[in-house]
Amino acid sequence: MPDIIQLLPDSIANQIAAGEVVQRPASAAKELLENAIDAEATSIKLIIKEAGKTLLQVMDDGKGMSETDARMSLERHATSKIRKAEDLFQLRTMGFRGEALASLAAVSQMEMKTRLADQELGTLLVIEGSEVKRQEPTACDIGTSIAVKNLFYNIPARRNFLKSNANEYQHILDEFQRLALSHPEISFQLIETDTIEYDLPPCKLSQRIVNIFGKSYQEQLAPCQEETALVRISGYLGKPQAARKKRGEQFLFVNKRFIRNNYLNHAVMTGFEGLLSDNSFPFYVLFIEIDPRHIDVNVHPTKTEIKFDDERAVYAVVLSAVRQAIGAHNLTPAIDFDADVNIIDKLANASPQSKEVYFEERFSTALNRSNLEHWEKVFDDDKKESPELASQVQTLRFDSAVNQPSDLLQEKTYFQLHDRYIVKQVKSGVLFVDQHAAHERILFEKFLNQSRNRSAQSQQSLFPLTLTFNAADFALIMEMQQEIEALGFRIEVFGKNTLLVNGVPANISSSRERDLFEGLIEQFKINQAELSVPLGENLARALAKRAATKPGQMLVRDEMKALVDSLFACTTPNYSPDGRPTFFIFELNKIETYFR
């Protein structure tokens, strides 16, 4: 039987390696930016076109390479950072495997220019599919410039799996932001299709955060510091009241390398325990400095996951640092803004009976307090009108229900429970409707129908709203502008990354324009990460969730009746768009079991 096992050609081996290292344009950007940082660059420029599919170029002013090093850098497992196996456990550089450039060259048309500081001429290399087409001296600046063109041009199947430009651009932006945050001492620039999206000068970390995320972050940052024999923690936390409904603005770095670690993220969230509303996530940028001997960074192809030899100890230090920062900088939100700020001084001189009355009134439920006030008013009015009646027995007369008008009977069948549920008597028992889930279902079907038929009505804004977004969100909005306008919004470009909102969907309060539009984009991205649905349906879901009546909102009888009637007119009334039940019936026979 002939031998059947053979070595793969280098070109195919490189393409297989590329499948692990280069998953999308953002992966290429990450590898090239990390190489520039390792080259001790002080200025790095990232240039992209068509979200990196057509062009992705990184230019730096680092040390550069000789002609031999430039050629060797394209070989698999060729690296300047490892000489012996023990070096793997003392790594402080970003890239070290020596796979990035070889993998990129295997799946793109690459052009490299590099020059050492003591050389008059640099080296030009042109590579296509791992094959070197040209190698010659060239005039260029000190440092290295690598342009990756037509990524996956020779693997059409992989290119077809790439997402939309807005989606791929968001991934590139994520990688750019992480590296810019972890190295504020380096100047970074991001240019997208001849437009400078970010121009970040060298600065301290707090200023870099503001430069990336906007001036609004200037007011919400609190420093976080902790140092032990094992680990050192530094960075910034955001205020609890500025927490958002989406993940993505949580940055954890170990020795300046961005990592994903659910265990340590849990430590941060535990530090915020009791301070955040449901499903909210705080902003944080935290750096962990630890001896490389205590970690293993070589456990994942993208190097975003690492192992600690004592993870529980690191968890404890992170939790302690977060709690100390929250306490030291008074990040705990006020419980009651109406409270008398001088109450402590007043109570100090009060009698024990007065203190008891104060706390009884202050912390009794709003329902009991309001009922007490109403009863006291009734008795006060009676005494004012006729003092002698206070001592007389009152006769109460209950009319038969059959003698009452039918509309009064109907009115009594609707009421609101805790401003969250609509309760109505039905033939088989009692109907309970979740007002938020029900309204979300109603709006979803309405918006989806309007989007498909292009029949949405818009109400003109008296004072158009100006909104500024980050570069990725703005690109996303521009990509789906027609679908957004099909829902009833009227928008136009008003400068760099800025929109003018001239109209919103009809029957939505104009006072909520900002929250509604920003919430629509935020919810759309959350849905996009969790669901695989068409663009129009995703937008309809997102808008319905943000525009629906919230739990805690008081409704009058007509609003309750209209909501229930509209719910049962839906094609799928039983569930909200995300699968939550909208109602249930508490049947009479079930009720009877509680009285036997």
Q: Per-residue confidence of the chain (596 residues) as pLDDT tens digits? A: 567 776 666 666 665 555 556 888 999 999 999 999 989 999 999 999 999 999 999 999 999 999 988 888 888 665 655 445 454 555 555 554 456 788 888 889 999 999 999 999 999 999 998 888 999 999 999 999 999 999 988 888 888 888 888 889 989 999 999 999 999 999 999 998 888 889 999 999 999 999 998 887 888 889 999 999 989 999 999 988 888 777 778 999 999 999 888 889 999 999 998 888 777 889 999 999 998 888 877 655 556 778 888 889 999 999 999 999 888 776 655 433 333 333 334 444 444 444 444 334 433 433 344 444 443 443 344 444 444 444 444 444 444 444 444 443 344 578 888 888 999 888 888 999 999 999 999 999 988 888 888 887 777 777 788 888 877 788 888 888 888 888 888 888 887 788 888 888 877 765 677 778 888 888 888 887 777 778 888 888 888 888 888 788 888 888 888 888 889 889 889 988 888 899 989 898 888 888 87
Nearby residues of 127 by Cβ (< 8 Å), 6 or more positions away = 74, 105, 109, 110, 111, 112, 133
Phi first, then psi: give them for residue 55, nearest 5 degrees.
Answer: -150, 135
Q: Both ends of the chain: CA-CA distance in Å?
A: 83
Q: Residue 364: what pLDDT?
A: 40
In angstroms, what CA-CA distances link 248 with 5, 126, 278, 475? 46, 37, 17, 18
CA distances from 260 to 95, 252, 318 (A): 17, 7, 15
Short-list 150, 142, 95, CA closest to 123: 142
When computed from its CA atoms, the radius of gyration of the chain, rounded to whole angstroms, is 32
- DSSP per residue, 127-145: EETTEEEEEEEE---SEEE
- The H or E element containing residue 279 is none
Strand order in the sheet with 429-434: 414-417, 421-426, 429-434, 583-587
- Identify the residue whose tokens are 């008597």: 425
Closest CA to 566 of 548, 553, 552, 554: 548
Sign of CA dihedral 16, 18, 19, 21: positive
User: So what's the pLDDT on residue 173?
Assistant: 92
Pairing state between β 43-49 and 187-192: parallel
Q: Supply the pLDDT for residue 14.
A: 62
CA proximity to 521, closest of 189, 141, 216, 245: 245
On whether the CB atoms of residues 585 and 564 are closer than 8 A, the answer is no
Contact 63, 55 (CB under 8 A): no
| CA–CA dist 249, 238 (Å, integer) | 10
All domains of the chain, ordered by start, with CATH? Answer: 10-202 (3.30.565.10), 214-328 (3.30.230.10), 345-388 (no CATH), 432-567 (3.30.1370.100)
Q: In what order do the strands lie in the sheet with 43-49?
A: 131-138, 122-128, 109-115, 143-149, 55-60, 43-49, 187-192, 195-200
Stated length of the chain: 596
Strand locations in 150-265 (E): 187-192, 195-200, 221-227, 231-238, 250-254, 257-258
**pLDDT for 93:** 58
